Amino acid sequence: MPQSTPNRGQDTHDYTLRFSKDGTFQITMFTDLHFAEDEDTADGPAKDARSIEVMENVLGYDTQQLVVLNGDQISGYGTKADNTTAYVDQIVGPMVERDLPWASTYGNHDHQSFADTLKTFQQETTYSQCLTQRMIPGEPDDLGVSNYFLPVYPAVGSQVDSEATPELILWFFDSRGGNYQNDGRERPDWVHSEVVEWFKEKNINLTTQYGKTIPSIAFFHIPLSAAKFFREDPGVNPSREPGQNGEVVSNQGEMYDHKTGHDIELMWALAKADGLLATFSGHDHTNDWCFKWTEDLPGQDVPGSGVNVCYGRHSGYGGYGDLDRGARHIVLNKDTLQKELVTWIRLEDGRIGENVTLNATYGKDEYHPGPVHLELKRDQFENTGLALAPSILSTVLCLFMIFYLPLRLWN
């Protein structure tokens, strides 16, 4: 695939995030793309080309106002230091081609060996469609790079002025890991305590500034320890938490010293954050389930507050795992924003394996997942019931053929 051409400063397009006129804001989240593996062999570029195909196919099935790259875009152990920016150009190509804005977090492999996240960030920001930011000053080797937030505004007006109130806040945290750039030592793989303090202070400031609690969601690559505790007890129920459940949770801190507890400060901050609907991670390539983090979760270090915690889907052909590749799609509706969001896994061939509503009863509701084709472009989303009708009709027809026809033939 030809490399994209940076265009920062050449494009006057307004990439301010806004809800669409139909009242929805939609995000496609890729995670664990793992470009740059085996770059000196024929197999490496072939994997990267297939990963680009995944992105192009998935982006074609759903409408999105934002693409999130949620970590491990690059396998730092597989590349050379002077090649990192070239991989960035490949990775962002599908969004640049569609003129779609994107926002990134960085994962442990983005920080590993020859991958330099500061250089990655600098290359990303040469594109006008890039919304990735670095809001916390300081040594990137210690604090990480991708710590920031993005406001999402109503679908009114053509420009955002200083008095506009966001409908939604998107938080992005760098969960670090990998290696220190200066000496190659292993680096802690959890969100830094200074970042957590910044989040708590900034969240309070936003509430004060706008005079109300603004709903929010958060993205970081490595999952919380709460996910590990949940998987152990009570466990992932395939009907109530549908999704792939193929491996033990490798939580924040696990790779550093195989212990839980390093992310306690982050978990406390998230649990106490008013208006936080959900968090989204990647990292574990054969998991893509969600669960409701409640106060009575056995064994956990921090009592949850009903925040929904979700995995994405292994998106790239680099990295381990044999699942079909895909991405997580997230739909928020301004009329129900205070209480729920809808999300599904979109596979590269168009199928959807898990389609759930993260609301007050998620974790109690029963789902009976099965791969289906679900087309939900913006102009179709005004009535979700109608959009789902084809799959319902298919089910009725299937039951008819199973039960009614055999009776007719037998008679």
Domain CATH code at residue 86: 3.60.21.10
For 221, the domain range is 24-380
pLDDT for the residue 138:
84
Whether the CB-CB separation of 304 and 271 falls below 8 Å is answered with: yes
Strand partners, 24: 333
> Which helix (H) or strand (E) segment is 293 a member of?
strand 290-293
Looking up tokens 């195989």 gives: 258
pLDDT for the residue 390:
36
Q: How many C-beta atoms surround the C-beta of residue 212 within 10 A?
A: 11
Whole-number Å distance between alpha carbons of 107 and 33: 11
Backbone φ and ψ of 377, nearest 5°: -70, 165
| Position 3 confidence tier, pLDDT thresholds 50, 70, 90 | low
Whole-number Å distance between alpha carbons of 409 and 358: 44
pLDDT for the residue 163:
56
pLDDT for the residue 192:
97
Whole-number Å distance between alpha carbons of 24 and 20: 6
pLDDT for the residue 105:
98
Q: How many C-beta atoms surround the C-beta of residue 337 within 10 A?
A: 20
* Domain presence at residue 135: yes
Burial of 189 (0-12, 13-18, 19+ CB in 10 A): buried
% of the chain with per-residue pLDDT over 70? 83
% of the chain with per-residue pLDDT over 90? 69
Lowest mean pLDDT of 97-106, 108-117, 211-220, 310-319, name the range: 108-117
* Domain presence at residue 257: yes
Collapsing DSSP to helix, strand or coil, 42 comes out as: coil
Q: How many C-beta atoms surround the C-beta of residue 301 within 10 A?
A: 15
Statement: residue 10 has pLDDT above 70: no
Averaged pLDDT, 379-403: 39
Lowest mean pLDDT of 183-197, 217-231, 292-306, 364-378, name the range: 364-378
Averaged pLDDT, 277-303: 92
Whole-number Å distance between alpha carbons of 316 and 314: 6
Averaged pLDDT, 316-333: 97
Check residues 373 and 346 and name the one with the higher pLDDT. Answer: 346
Distances (CA, A) of 31 to 47, 138, 257, 364: 15, 26, 24, 27
Q: In 3D, which of 316, 129, 339, 102 has the Cα closest to residue 215?
A: 339
Beta strand pairing status for 148-152 and 102-105?
Answer: unpaired
* Domain presence at residue 235: yes
* Domain presence at residue 262: yes
pLDDT for the residue 381:
37
Q: What is the mean pLDDT of the chain?
A: 86
* Domain presence at residue 29: yes
Strand partners, 347: 326
pLDDT for the residue 164:
85
Averaged pLDDT, 133-142: 89
* Domain presence at residue 341: yes
| Position 185 confidence tier, pLDDT thresholds 50, 70, 90 | confident
* Domain presence at residue 152: yes
pLDDT for the residue 409:
35
Looking up tokens 């064994």 gives: 299
Euclidean distance between the first and final Cα of the chain, in Å? 60
* Domain presence at residue 34: yes
Check residues 52 and 119 and name the one with the higher pLDDT. Answer: 52
pLDDT for the residue 371:
54
pTM above 0.95, yes or no: no
Amino acid occupying residue 54: V
Query: Looking at residue 26, what DSSP letter applies?
Result: E
- How many distinct structural domains can be found in the chain? 1
